[in-house]
Each structure stands twice: as C-alpha cells, then as structure tokens.
Amino acid sequence: MKRILTGIQPSGHITLGNYLGAIRPLLALQNEEDVELLVFIADLHAITVPQDRVALRHNIKELAALFLACGLDLNKAHMFIQSEVPCHNQLGWVMECNSYIGELERMTQFKDKKQKQTDGVSAGLLTYPPLMAADILLYDTDLVPVGEDQKQHLEITRNLASRFNNKYGETFKLPEPYILKTGARVMSLVDPSKKMSKSDSNPKAFISILDDINVAKKKIKSAITDSEGSIRYDVENKPGVSNLLTIYSSLTNESIADLETKYANSNYQVFKEDLANIVGDFLSKIQEKYNYYINSSDLDLILNSGRDLAYHYASRKLQKVYHKMGIGRY
C-alpha cells in the first residue's frame, strides 16, 4: 500500500493556487489502486506567523469542509487537524535537535517570510521545516503532493530522515515529492512574477475557492497580461498570459499547445471571457458541496476519526524513535 500525505495551512482562504498545486495532484493519486491518503490542516505551521484567533478557528473548519468539497474520497482518505495529534510536536522537537541552524537559515521560505516579520522573527519560522519533516516521517509516507514552493522542504525532510537513519538505524522511509508539471506554481493575477498567495494584501492577486462567482470572474478578466495581443505560452516574455493558460489547461485538462491553436485568432478579451466562465463553473460546483459540509455534523465525526487513526499510526512511530534515541524508559 502506498501512503500519500499532504497538509495545507489554515492561514487564509484557500486559493486556486492551493487547489492546482496541492489538491489536484492529491485527487489524481486518490484514483490509483492500493493507496491510503492522510490529509491534514497544518494549524501549528500557521502560527509561525501572527494569526487572529477567531479567523484561525474559522479557517480550520473552512479548510476541512473544502477538502471534502473538492472530492476527498473517505474510503481512501483520512483527514485530521495537526494540533490534535501531539506526536507532530513531539517528533518535531526531535527533528529540530537533529537540524542545523545553518541549513534552516538557508531555506527560501524562511528568507522570504522573515522579511515580513517586522516586529521580530519568530523562532518557529526558522524551525518550520523540522516540524514539516515530522508531519511526513511519522507516517512512513511514500508521496507528498505539493506545489513547487515546497520542493526544498521535501529535500530537507529527506536529509533529516537519512541523517537520523544513519545515526540510529533504519527508522524512517524517505518520501518523494509529487509535483505536477502544470499548475505547480500558479502566479499572482496582478503581478505574474510573484506566486499566487492567500496572504497577499491585494485580493485581486488571487482567486479564493470561496470567492463570489462574479468577483472571481472579474479577477480573471482584469488579470495583468501584456500589449502583444497573441495567446501563446512564453513564461519569460508573457508571464501573465502563460499563467492564464496554465490555469485554463489545469482546469480543463486541455493541453497548452491545443489551447494555443484554439485561440490563435482570438484576442485577450475572448480568451479571458472563456476562462472566467470555466473558473466560475469550477468554483460554483465546489461551493455547492462546501455549503453542505460546512453545515453538516459529519464534519466533526470525520475529523474525530481522522485524528484517532493518525494518532494510532503516529504514536507507534514516535515510540520507536524515542526507544532508538534512549528517551524515556522504554
């Protein structure tokens, strides 16, 4: 059996970038034979930057309902909240003690996010990757579907796992990232040199899965392009159009080459109009299911059973680690 695991931070409303980068590959893997999916809401990671308590509570529940609305199959997938399985913090600490400050300081995400913490940089921002390594290594994970920006965190996870295995004997499986060719890095709609991010201060930069349909369509129609007028994929010279082609191709499964042919004689307005409708249809389908789950008492039951199963797996692994290191009595 192949184990597949991923997490998303409840640090805002999840975006089309999150969907295309992390959820879509998860759903693709879910269709394979003999797989078990573990999906979690990374609330401990979210607090590495300041969070409002009311918003955080809300976002945790929202993300849980959204995972289900996107089509998680509960025959194969288990969903839980990271903070409800304390083994994550416990193995996280062990991983921190096996990490070097230098390698953590070199992480791109740390370097980027540290610029934004003007009131002082939290230590948690630095030790974020060892916690993420713990998330993954607790479950003998084979594959981790993520967007391009998480590749470096997967590399350090593998390094920490082999460092531990070399020191204490075979304990952890080395996970592989699972990154799709298209959609692994969706860009901002107002500045296509930047990643689409749910924490962007300009709401026009991202499409949230729960955006009002007309608002979302407008964001596509007003997305930054260029003055050339031709619809072709060229990230360097036409980053805006290329990003829209990526979104279009990912949502419809039509290849970018086919889309270039289809729109060879069209202008941006026609192309954007079509894409706006595709995005609108996609969002309304998910939102309908979201409205069901967010109001259903099933949500708590699903999270309870996910937590219990995750704890069952994780506590066994943690005990093994403590034993190998000589922590505690057993």
Task: State which residue has the least CB distance to ligand AMP.
Answer: 21
User: Quick check: is 113 catalytic?
Assistant: yes
The stretch near ligand TRP (CB under 6 A) out of 65-73, 143-151, 241-249, 300-308 is: 143-151
Q: Angle formed by the axes of helices 298-325 and 151-168, to 10°?
A: 40
Q: Does residue 196 belong to the site contacting ligand AMP (CB under 6 A)?
A: yes
Q: Does residue 79 belong to the site contacting ligand AMP (CB under 6 A)?
A: no
Amino acid identity of 190?
V
Q: How far is the C-alpha of 71 from the C-alpha of 230, rounded, in Å?
A: 36
Partnered with residue 178 across adjacent β-strands are 145
Q: How far is the C-alpha of 161 from the C-alpha of 28, rounded, in Å?
A: 26
Q: Which is nearer to ligand TRP, 42 or 245 (CB)?
A: 42
Q: Which is nearer to ligand TRP, 136 or 321 (CB)?
A: 136
Q: Does residue 42 belong to the site contacting ligand TRP (CB under 6 A)?
A: yes
DSSP track, 89-131:
HHHHHHHHHTS-HHHHHT-HHHHHHHHH-TT---HHHHSHHHH
196 binds, among ligand AMP, ligand TRP, none (CB under 5 to 8 A by kind): ligand AMP
Burial degree of 44 (CB within 10 A; 0-12, 13-18, 19+): buried
Q: Which is nearer to ligand AMP, 36 or 43 (CB)?
A: 43
Q: Does residue 25 belong to the site contacting ligand TRP (CB under 6 A)?
A: no
132 binds, among ligand AMP, ligand TRP, none (CB under 5 to 8 A by kind): ligand TRP
User: Quick check: is 194 catalytic?
Assistant: no
The closest of 153, 206, 123, 117 to 6, measured between CA atoms, is: 153
Q: Using alpha carbons only, how large is the chain's radius of gyration in Å? A: 21
Strand pairing category for 2-8 and 35-41: parallel
Q: How far is the C-alpha of 150 from the C-alpha of 92, rounded, in Å?
A: 18
User: Quick check: is 238 catalytic?
Assistant: no
Q: Does residue 16 belong to the site contacting ligand TRP (CB under 6 A)?
A: no
Contact residue for ligand TRP among 20, 29, 138, 144 (CB under 6 A): 144
Contact string (CB under 6 A) for ligand TRP, positions 95-134, x = contact: -------------------------------------x--
Q: Does residue 191 belong to the site contacting ligand AMP (CB under 6 A)?
A: no
Smallest separation, CB 153 to ligand TRP (Å): 6
Residue 224 has phi, psi (to 5 degrees) of: -65, 130
Active site residues: 113, 195, 198
Binding site for ligand AMP (CB under 6 A): 8-9, 17-18, 20-22, 146-147, 149-150, 184-186, 195-196, 198
